[in-house]
Structure 1
């Protein structure tokens, strides 16, 4: 029943959200570079900015340590989400490179042994701009990718007319698009000595300020970074916006204010946040797992996974391992017999995972049990197994089809 209510809540939230202005964001933190020194901060920067964007109403996809294929795929998929949205934002923290006046984002698996390799191993900034172009009101690209290029020293130049610049080169985005660099053209940005880079620290400090119009937000970010770095690093924003005021967080209207400022409607909560606030106190494994399956890229999915782990660990404590009579009936009215459908096996320390699989099967209409394999002579001992049965071979064969619709790798086994 709780699971059905949760599904109804998702359906209701989808209906409401579709009618309201949507804000979508793709946040990427590339730290674990495989062929140059790793960067300590981009993963932190991405996680913290994702949280900040959630606070101002964005639906956020958080991605870390993307290789070439994953980075292109993430941008392609996000471009579909951006179509028709009121605002679309892409944030990238990691390495970038400018070569022959073209800007590229560098995936974690890039080698860049020669200048020719850049166009085959890095992702052009134009791809990022294309990913946000479907938004109606505001398109934002934030690049904390102007760090000193670690590939330049070892890169072999094959074309004498092709040059590598410091940082990123200037661009001219289309109207309604802003592109913010952590450091202006031809200069590099600091990674930072604390948890976050100076640029992302400045973004976090100003992102949720009520009534801060977008253009002024980036002016304040510029001043913040200049002060923090003693003038060594100056962010720069390229592009232009229409004549209306645009806010990430609208101004707060004071009581009795006869002339309130012109503002946009306050953004609706993102769908994943709205559903999470509804089910966050649930102790039902099915509800939590359904949320994880529905919103796998949400920052709230991490909280749901932690909550689910706590629920299963508590189940193990409250339901300690016990001897199970191998001769007891198969349950659910099935006749007793030697054959079982095995839907998973787990080490002794992971009974909670076995119970999670069992619960998932039951929620999908399959009566499964968690059993101690030591009680079954033909099952590998020393494990917890999730089984349907044991029963007759005819019944077990019939059950196998139902189980495989939920767990594809289930198999038939003579248990005793």
Structure 2
């Protein structure tokens, strides 16, 4: 046998061995994620696996899977012992706290309105004060004028003379403004493919935290979730998501700092499809609405994701304390990525509850979730009647 033939045989053997090793590694990683659904079904409320490794990866995003059994290896790292997962609060109990927290923060607004309506004589000065209270709540000029006009007409035509009836009329008109007919359901039901939810917003609105809290909401509804850390401008954002996911057994796809956000989002959806999860939540980088290049990049992320699966929900996170400035942000984001719902954070920290009406009027889309505080389960579905009752402390 000559040397050339010997070299060919040795080279062929090396290629075969390398292919086997790569296949085992990829198969192990996919298997770990694919076991997520079965494992979480067994471990709801008990023991379950958490994520392994530091989750760092290449420019297209690599998988930080749920922790497999201790005798398995993921990317040549030994697995840490399993940890007890947290049980997120149910949506029902969140709604109870929603009313309690809102009532505590919005009372000044509600009491001001009720005090004015309970006066013996509703003269022009009283109605002017009423308008000022509404405007100071960030309701906006047009909704304020509509509400005052409707209240004046109803109280006069119906001959309302007592505070109890005036309160009921005010509740009905406020509820009409908030619009209980809007569909506030999150589009997170799996079809042939996972539902895909993009979360967008400006810097400092609590966007990444909102993604983590939303994952908890969905896990509490027994949905299998995967998180995509497409905010690659901040290394801490991906680390933050891994921490949120690890507490409830949700895997994360992340890339290196500075990686292409669109490719990480693409990998996230691909991994979600392979694992047959119910929902893929994609966290995007916070960006100033005035920066055209960054806004264009956000549109690119959505287009790239939709090569694999439709984006079923685009949630815009707004800080409720920013008031009317938040409407400018909302308008520009809506032009780029077609917003389907609003998440209002820090609502309990502001007495300006009128922003709910103002932003819905501006975009024509509903407020679907509200952030009520710093707790891990302080994100709740928005309910129009609960909100109005809390404002009026009914």
Same fold (TM over 0.5): no
Between Structure 1 and Structure 2, the one with more strand by share is 1
Q: Relative contact order, CA 8 A, sep 6+: which one is greater?
A: 2
Point out the structure with max Rg over C-alpha.
1
TM-score by length of 1: 0.28
TM-score where L is the length of structure 2: 0.29
More helix by share: 2
